[in-house]
Structure formats: C-alpha cells, structure tokens
Amino acid sequence: MAKALPVSPLAPAAFPDLPQIAGVEFAAIESGVRYRGRRDVMLARLAPGSAIAGVFTRSATRSAPVLDCEAKLAAGGDTGAGAAILVNSGNANAFTGAAGEGSVAAICSALATAAGLPASRIFTASTGVIGERLPHERIIASLDALVAGLAPDATEAAARAIMTTDTFAKGAGAVVPTPAGEIHIAGFAKGSGMIAPDMATMLVYIFTDARVPQPLLQRALSAHTETTFNAITVDGDTSTSDSLMLAATGQGPVVIDDLAAGAGPAFTQALHSVMLDLAQQVVRDGEGASKFVEIRVTGAVNAADAKRTAMAIANSPLVKTAIAGEDPNWGRVVMAVGKSGAKADRDRLSIRFGDVLVAEKGWVAESYTEEAGAAYMKRAELQVNVDLGLGNGAFTAWTCDLTHGYISINADYRS
Amino acid sequence: MAKALPVSPLAPAAFPDLPQIAGVEFAAIESGVRYRGRRDVMLARLAPGSAIAGVFTRSATRSAPVLDCEAKLAAGGDTGAGAAILVNSGNANAFTGAAGEGSVAAICSALATAAGLPASRIFTASTGVIGERLPHERIIASLDALVAGLAPDATEAAARAIMTTDTFAKGAGAVVPTPAGEIHIAGFAKGSGMIAPDMATMLVYIFTDARVPQPLLQRALSAHTETTFNAITVDGDTSTSDSLMLAATGQGPVVIDDLAAGAGPAFTQALHSVMLDLAQQVVRDGEGASKFVEIRVTGAVNAADAKRTAMAIANSPLVKTAIAGEDPNWGRVVMAVGKSGAKADRDRLSIRFGDVLVAEKGWVAESYTEEAGAAYMKRAELQVNVDLGLGNGAFTAWTCDLTHGYISINADYRS
C-alpha cells in the first residue's frame, strides 16, 4: 500500500471480542510478499475431524488458489487428519499462468511438512495485485515461525494480516446456547474494493466448534451466501480471488445432523448473523465510503426482479454520487429502477428515504418536501426503500456511496 | 447548471461546418425552463413529405415525451403535412405522472397552432432533472418567437440549446456523392452523463435531404444503433429520456428505395459514420473525462459474448480509475473479463494496450515492460485490445475514464 488510508468513518469502534473456537489456532507473520512493516500471511490450523465448506468466485479468470481450493473441496479428503488455511495479502496470484499453480503447490507442500498435515487438506488464498508472480519462497521461509506461533486467541492478528485496502479489521462472532451446550462461531473478512454481488464474496473465514457433517456445513453456507455476501456491492467489480470458507471443528459439545431440527435452526440463524455482520463490515469499509446504504426492494413480481432492481440502484454511479453529495435526488433512483430490466410500472412504484415518502403514483409524493429529503440524506446510515407495487418479490442489498476517496484510492493504489 | 464546467480536454477544436439540409430549419430560444442566460429550447421544422424514424430508451420509467414519440411513430401519420421536433433542456419531464403527459399535449397543441402542423406530427423531448413538473407554459410562451426565428443554418444554436452537463456542442455531417446527385446528412447530439448501452441513446437528431421511405429509414437507423450509440458508455447509467431521431426530407436529388442497391449502401455507410462520430463525441464529453478509450474485443465465441466482455471492461470503475491514474493495471482488465459472464479461458486470452502486447498464455507477456505500458497510458486516446482466442465474435465499445471530475459533477449538480 503506497500510503496508509484513513480509517473509514463507518468503521465499528473496535474489533469485536470473538469467542475462541476449540480446535482452531491462528498465527500471523510478516513475510514481505509486498508490504513492509506489517504482517501479511495468516495461518489457521484446524484440529483433526474438522469439516470445511467453501464458496468461491465464479469469475472466468479466477486465481490459482481458488482453483486449488475448489478441486480439494470437490475431492473430499481425509477429515481425520486436520487441515489448515493459509492466506497472504499483497499479491493475488491470479492470472499468473502455470507458475501460479506451481506457487500454490510449493506452499502446500512446504506447509504439509511444517505442520504435519496432508497437502490435500491445506487451503490457500492470495489477495492483492493481479498478474505478478507470487514470491512464494518468502512465504515458505516464514512457515516454521508461523506454525510455532499458533495460538487460539490470535484471531485479530489473523484478520489484520489479510487486509489490503481495508482500513479496519473485520470480525464477527456468536455464542449460541442450545440444550446440548453452547455453539461458538467466530469469523473474519477482508474486502473494500472490487466488491460485487452475484459471484461469491471476498476473503472470509468463519469457524465453529459445532460438529457438522461437511455436506450439511456446505448447504448452510451456500444457503446464506445469497442474502449476505451476494447482497453487497461496493463498485460492481468482482474479484478473481473471492473465497468464503467455513470450518467446523466438532470440538464443542453440540452435534448438528439436521439443519431444520435440534440445534440446527439456532446454528444456521447465528451463522447467518455472523455472515451478514461481516458482509456489512465490508461495505462499511468500501473504498472511500462515507455513507452506509441499505436498499430494500419489495413488491417485485419475483425475488429475481427484486434483486435486479436493488442491485441496479446499489451499483448506479449517479445514485451513489448523489448520496455522497447528500442530495435527495430520487430521480436517479427512478432512473435506476427503469434501467434494471425488472418489470416496473411508473404509476405503481413508491420510493421512501427511510420513512420519508418521496414518490408514489408516478410522481413526487404530495406530502414530500425537499427539506425533509435533504435532512434525511445528512445521516451516515441511509435506507432507500422501493416498493414496485406488483407482487411479493423482495430483496435487500447493502452498498456505500461513491466519493472522491474511491477515485483517489484506485487511481493511485495498484492492487 | 450551478456553475460552468470546463470544456472537456477531449473536445473537438470547433463545432463542424455542417451541410444545410433542404427542407429543415432550426431555431433556438431562451425560455427560462431552468437555466438563465442561455437558450434552452430548440425547434426543427421539417418540410412536407419528410419521413421520420426513431429509436428510444427501453427504460421502464421512460419520460412522457418518449412515450408520446413512440406512440406517434407507431401510428404512422400524414407525411404530407410536414413535421417538427421540439426539445427543451433543464427538465426531463420524466416521472411526472399524468401531468407530464399533459405538458406534452399542451406543447404539441400550441406548436401545432403556431407552426401550422398537425399535433400528430410534432415530436418532443425533454432533458434535465427528473421528477419536477415541466413549466410548459414558459415553452409555450416562446413558440411564436421560435417559429419566427427558423433558419436553415441555425444547426449549432439548436445543438447548444439541448445541452445539460455537456461541455461542448456535438455535431457531425456528411456529403455523399452518388450518380443521382449528392446526399447531405447533418446531425447533432447531447449527452455527457447517465450514458449507458443496451438501451437506445441520449438525445440525437440527424437530418438528410435524401428521399427515403419511412420503413427503410427506420431500418437503417435501427441497424446502426447497435454499433454506435449502443456501443458507448460513460457510467453505465441509462437515461429515462434517450431519443435518437432521423428525418429524411426528400428535398435533395437522391431517392433511396433499397438500402442494399443504388445509393443505398453509400447512404447507410455515411449515416453510420455520422452516428458513430456523434456517439464518440458524447464519450469525449463524458462527465469528468480525461481519456478517450476504445475497447476492442475479438475472438469471442459469438458477438454477444464480445459485447458482454467489452462492456464489462468499459463499465468497470476499477479499469476506469486505473486509466485516469495512467496506471497500466492490466490485472483489472483480466478481472473485468472474468466477471463479464462471457466464456473466457485464462490461457487463451491476450491483452494489448494499443500495439503493446501485455498479457498472453495466462500471464504477463515475456516482451512486456512496465515502462512500455506506463508510457502508453499517458496518451489521451487509448486502445485496449482483448482477444479471447475462442472464436470469431467481435465488438468494439468506446468509453472514458472515471475521474474526480465525475464525482464533483454528480455530487454537486442536480440533473
């Protein structure tokens, strides 16, 4: 990073107190992949018996680590052996040809030796600049020290090590009481730019001590992706490296063998909360963001149309610059609804900024005043509510505004 | 407009010398719809016998004038009576409920009286802020003076009157020699922001003295829209008011009754050139633009995939900010190719900045140097060439960079 970015005004006050997850240890180290003076590699070691689920970018140019993770998850693998997740920042190892695959293999092989794990259970990710060779020898040289430093409470250090243009570390956790005992969930994420929906997500790692068979774990993760990470956008651009992994160590007291019965619903609900919290933190750290915006679309003919409408609004540069300028320019919301491709009827849709009714019946609402709209727009957290008045389709998306900060970060910083 | 914007550095040196079109007269006047101290209404009167074709936005929230034009063109109408096009800037008359339709009817009725034309042959457009009532009485009060001022050489004044955030007036023309005599074509356009493809266009008016039956005229216009106005993007946002109209007065010596024979091919080729010139001028006046960028995609499995890829690159905020920063960040081009949804293969695609081979075979090209890339990016006019290496699908799109100027214009100016 060329220079330190100021912390987002939408950042939480502090990194949260996350529960420790039995069976998971973390470590972070400065290997010098690209940055100087900060840790840039994180390792998570998972105890034998851990199940792992993942969701990855659908980009046609996805990175070598993503391809490797997908192949390993598809192959299954020996859960009895334990597992590890290794992530570096500063270099995405994407579009690096066969050399990229070679780097992944070299890292996995070296970590297998250092940590006493099969390479087939080592999952990697890389985030940062695209198209430059990953200096994997620097990472490999750090592995022994990394393994030696593993500790159950090093979550925040791990979360910090995977940051690129992020201005704060993003963590979320939950403690779920059940009759069989508590389930603990802890996760962290990185992401700030190149954030777009409809693929998978950025880099996100979530851990739980519940015992969940891998197919159930994958189903729970996939089910919640659509309404959390696939419901956010910063700039409509989609990373080559997006990865979301969920690991269940099974070292806590709770066993889940049905998502719909026993502790299943409480677990999936808590998982959804943790995922949504992390997804919203990514938006709060959107490059240059000064406003956090929830776009709620209701009354669409179906859910797909509702999402299309919400995302057209959330990705519109004209809507996002109006929000940056605190201009209640609802005409641009109308424009975005119109261009979305979703079925809409000028005379049936209504628009509200928070509770302020702005437009209905094909025109500005009689009760609306520019003063009320302008006052609402001064908030740091905004809601844009659009009811299409056609059916029951609904979708909620989260985004941020588009400011000079985004231009400065992306015209100056090479990531 | 709150303040005068500096003229785009990509503007042509001057408004071109356009041929006069027999059978067309123009006038422009200051009616005070919104702006002060500049003309904001333009009138074009077309002689009896003129044929008119149009292409309009496909937005679901299109404006009252667009709906009116579509209905009138669909109904046909008496070409023997002459026709008129009336356009105001400063107010889009979009999302203005039934009042919007009333404004259009009132203007058409008053102009019918003032100009001695049937209201069914009067086509209007409005451009500017969305959702505010059009003060049509100001326009109506100006109509007699407007009609009295009609002159065949007032093209530039007409082009200026329809500008909003445009920083220069956009005109293009052609003189086509044919065995039967010359065909003259002249046109002008406005557009700078809220410019996106896949719908129709901004406001564009093109005139010719050739005699062309309306169905042929419409076919010629529609055929060229895809590769001209539908191939440009400034910000991915689509106006509620986009209108492109082509009028043929039939007062010149040339009669076209087949687009593929006689003077047909020369006419459609010249029409394409005029449309492309105007479309590219809109990009050159893209809000905040400092670079003019041609995106050429070849080797796609089909034309639709080529367009999808070109538009994903052209609309990517990360690509556009890298260009603004003169950063040869080709990894962002890879990212945009990957997210486009088009079929792509990392190891078969190649990327060139102009003639500089940047990436091939899944990685940076051996011959590429950062110095060569950086030197190329300093140009004001850039070419990004992507060959997907899969088939024969090709598409070329034009866009501009994303700068602080775009944010300033759209966070400050309400349009």
Q: Pick the closest to residue A322 from B6, B162, B407 (CA basis).
A: B407
- Interface contacts A/B by beta carbons within 8 Å: 205
% chain A with pLDDT above 70: 93
- Among the ranges given (B197-211, B295-309, B335-349), the one the predictor scored with the smallest mean pLDDT: B197-211
* A238 band by pLDDT with thresholds 50, 70 and 90: low
* CB B127 within 8 Å of CB B87: yes
Find the catalytic residue in A57, A201, A208, A249.
A201
pLDDT at residue B238 in the model = 64
pTM: 0.78
pLDDT at residue B239 in the model = 63
B130, B338, B347 ranked by CB distance to A240: nearest: B338
pLDDT at residue A414 in the model = 53
Beta strands A363-364 and A356-360, pairing class? antiparallel
| Integer angstrom CA distances of residue B150 from A196, A303, B143, B314 | 51, 53, 11, 40
| DSSP 8-state symbol, A325 | T
Task: Report the distance separating Cα B300 and Cα B307, nearest Å.
Answer: 9
- Among the ranges given (A26-40, A67-81, B149-163), the one the predictor scored with the smallest mean pLDDT: A67-81
pLDDT at residue A194 in the model = 60
pLDDT > 50? residue A226:
yes
B57, B92, B193 ranked by CB distance to A318: nearest: B193
Region at A194 (left for phi over 0; alpha for psi -120 to 50; beta for the rest): left
- Give the minimum alpha-carbon distance from A409 to chain B in angstroms, rounded to a whole number: 9
pLDDT at residue B415 in the model = 43
Place of tokens 């129709």: B200
* B122 band by pLDDT with thresholds 50, 70 and 90: very high
pLDDT at residue B153 in the model = 93
Would you call B337 an interface residue with chain A, using a CB distance cutoff of 8 Å?
Answer: yes
Average pLDDT over residues B294-305: 95
| Burial grade of B378 (CB within 10 A; 0-12, 13-18, 19 or more) | exposed
Task: Report the distance separating Cα B224 and Cα A137, nearest Å.
Answer: 55
Q: Is B85 helix (H, G, I), strand (E, B) or coil?
A: strand
Assigned token pair, A138: 């620097």
Assigned token pair, B214: 């309306």
Decide which of A355 and B167 is more confident: A355
A351 - beta bridge partners? A359, A386
pLDDT at residue A232 in the model = 75
- Residue A92 has phi, psi (to 5 degrees) of -85, -10
| Integer angstrom CA distances of residue B244 from A338, B123, B157, B204, B396 | 18, 11, 18, 5, 20
| Integer angstrom CA distances of residue A255 from A176, B36, B286 | 13, 73, 58
Task: Report the distance separating Cα A209 and Cα A154, nearest Å.
Answer: 16
Inter-chain CB proximity A338 and B238 less than 8 Å: yes
Best of B335, B350, B388, B413 to disrupt the A interface (most A CBs within 10 Å) is B335
* Run of H or E including A91: strand A83-91
What ipTM does this complex have?
0.74
Query: From A241, which residue of chain B is nearest by alpha-carbon distance?
Result: B335
* B2 band by pLDDT with thresholds 50, 70 and 90: very low
Average pLDDT over residues B11-32: 91
pLDDT at residue B374 in the model = 95
Inter-chain CB proximity B338 and A362 less than 8 Å: no
* Run of H or E including B264: helix B264-284
* CB A169 within 8 Å of CB A263: no
| DSSP 8-state symbol, A5 | P
Q: Is-catalytic flag, A201?
A: yes
- Output the average pLDDT for chain B: 87
Please compute Rg for chain B using Cα positions. Answer: 22
% chain B with pLDDT above 70: 93
Q: Is B402 helix (H, G, I), strand (E, B) or coil?
A: coil
pLDDT at residue A63 in the model = 86
* CB B168 within 8 Å of CB B13: no
Task: Report the distance separating Cα B249 and Cα B246, nearest Å.
Answer: 10
Question: Which of A58-67, A228-237, A323-332, B228-237 has maximum average pLDDT?
Answer: A323-332
- Residue B15 has phi, psi (to 5 degrees) of -65, 135
pLDDT > 50? residue A338:
yes
User: Contacts of residue B403 in chain A, CB cutoff 8 Å?
Assistant: 407, 411
Decide which of B78 and A382 is more confident: A382
Tens of pLDDT, residues A254-302: 999 999 999 999 998 888 888 888 888 888 888 888 999 999 999 999 9
Average pLDDT over residues A49-59: 82
A243 - beta bridge partners? A56, A203
B325, B331, B410 ranked by CB distance to A322: nearest: B410
Tens of pLDDT, residues A155-194: 999 999 988 878 888 888 888 888 988 899 888 888 766 6
Tens of pLDDT, residues B44-76: 999 998 888 888 877 777 789 989 998 998 888
Decide which of B35 and A57 is more confident: B35
- Give the minimum alpha-carbon distance from A381 to chain B in angstroms, rounded to a whole number: 17
Beta strands A381-387 and A292-300, pairing class? parallel
Inter-chain CB proximity A238 and B335 less than 8 Å: yes
CA angle B276–B278–B282, rounded 5-degree value? 110
* CB B95 within 8 Å of CB B126: no
Average pLDDT over residues B82-86: 92
Would you call B404 an interface residue with chain A, using a CB distance cutoff of 8 Å?
Answer: yes
Assigned token pair, A284: 């709060």
pLDDT > 50? residue B198:
no
The strands making up A393-400's β-sheet, listed across from edge to edge, are A232-233, A393-400, A292-300, A381-387, A350-353, A356-360, A363-364
Inter-chain CB proximity B411 and A321 less than 8 Å: yes
* Helices and strands (H, E) in chain A, number of each type: 11, 16
Alpha helices in B94-175 (DSSP H): 97-115, 136-141, 143-148, 155-161
Would you call B116 an interface residue with chain A, using a CB distance cutoff of 8 Å?
Answer: no
* CB A183 within 8 Å of CB A208: yes
Task: Report the distance separating Cα B231 and Cα B196, nearest Å.
Answer: 8
* B202 band by pLDDT with thresholds 50, 70 and 90: low
CA angle A146–A150–A151, rounded 5-degree value? 150
pLDDT at residue A10 in the model = 82
Distance of alpha carbon B133 from the chain centroid = 25
Place of tokens 């500063």: A90
pLDDT at residue A200 in the model = 40
* B196 band by pLDDT with thresholds 50, 70 and 90: low
Q: What is the dihedral of CA B114, B118, B123, B124, to 10 degrees?
A: 40
Best of A34, A58, A59, A401 to disrupt the B interface (most B CBs within 10 Å) is A59
Distance of alpha carbon A314 from the chain centroid = 16
pLDDT at residue B10 in the model = 81
Find all residues with CB under 8 Å of B206, minimum gap 6, and list them: B185, B186, B187, B244, B245, B246, B247, B271, B274, B275, B278
Task: Report the distance separating Cα A204 and Cα A24, nearest Å.
Answer: 15
Q: How many CB atoms lie within 10 A of CB A253?
A: 14
Query: From B320, which residue of chain A is nearest by alpha-carbon distance?
Result: A411
pLDDT at residue A248 in the model = 86
Inter-chain CB proximity B237 and A131 less than 8 Å: no
Q: Is B127 helix (H, G, I), strand (E, B) or coil?
A: strand
Beta strands A381-387 and A203-208, pairing class? unpaired
Q: What is the dihedral of CA A117, A120, A123, A126, to 10 degrees?
A: 110
User: Contacts of residue A315 in chain B, CB cutoff 8 Å?
Assistant: 236
pLDDT > 90? residue B275:
no
Inter-chain CB proximity B318 and A237 less than 8 Å: yes
| Burial grade of B48 (CB within 10 A; 0-12, 13-18, 19 or more) | middle
SS (HEC) of B376-401: HHCCCEEEEEEECCCCCEEEEEEEEC
Q: Pick the closest to residue B21 from B188, B227, B264 (CA basis).
A: B188
pLDDT > 90? residue A12:
no
User: Contacts of residue A338 in chain B, CB cutoff 8 Å?
Assistant: 57, 59-62, 238, 240
| Integer angstrom CA distances of residue A340 from A307, A320, B29, B66 | 10, 15, 36, 18
* A410 band by pLDDT with thresholds 50, 70 and 90: confident
Task: Report the distance separating Cα B403 and Cα A148, nearest Å.
Answer: 47
A131, A325, A338 ranked by CB distance to B60: nearest: A338
pLDDT > 50? residue A197:
no
Question: Which of A56-60, A128-132, B397-401 has maximum average pLDDT?
Answer: B397-401
Average pLDDT over residues B309-315: 92
Task: Report the distance separating Cα A314 and Cα A302, nearest Å.
Answer: 18
pLDDT at residue A84 in the model = 93
The strands making up A83-91's β-sheet, listed across from edge to edge, are A24-29, A41-46, A83-91, A122-129
Inter-chain CB proximity A335 and B194 less than 8 Å: yes
Query: From A237, which residue of chain B is nearest by alpha-carbon distance?
Result: B316
pLDDT at residue B246 in the model = 84
* CB B348 within 8 Å of CB B300: no
Task: Report the distance separating Cα B401 and Cα B315, nearest Å.
Answer: 10
- Output the average pLDDT for chain A: 87
A95, A334, A346 ranked by CB distance to B359: nearest: A95
Task: Report the distance separating Cα A382 and Cα A108, nearest Å.
Answer: 44
pLDDT at residue B195 in the model = 58
A-facing residues of B in 57-76 (CB < 8 A) are: 57, 59-62
Go through the domains of chain B in sequence order and give each one's CATH number.
24-284 (3.60.70.12), 292-412 (3.10.20.340)
- Helix-helix angle A97-115:A136-148, to 10 degrees: 20
Would you call A258 an interface residue with chain B, using a CB distance cutoff of 8 Å?
Answer: no
Average pLDDT over residues B28-41: 92
Find all residues with CB under 8 Å of B399, minimum gap 6, and list them: B232, B233, B234, B283, B286, B293, B295, B314, B315, B320
pLDDT at residue A132 in the model = 86
pLDDT at residue A415 in the model = 42
Region at B77 (left for phi over 0; alpha for psi -120 to 50; beta for the rest): left
Q: Pick the closest to residue B266 from B177, B186, B172, B181 (CA basis).
A: B177
Find the catalytic residue in B201, B225, B228, B238.
B201
User: Contacts of residue A314 in chain B, CB cutoff 8 Å?
Assistant: none
| DSSP 8-state symbol, B191 | -
Average pLDDT over residues A89-97: 87
* B1 band by pLDDT with thresholds 50, 70 and 90: very low
* A61 band by pLDDT with thresholds 50, 70 and 90: confident
Q: Position A124: which residue type?
A: T
Would you call A214 an interface residue with chain B, using a CB distance cutoff of 8 Å?
Answer: no
User: Contacts of residue B337 in chain A, CB cutoff 8 Å?
Assistant: 60-61
Please compute Rg for chain A using Cα positions. Answer: 22
Q: Is A363 helix (H, G, I), strand (E, B) or coil?
A: strand
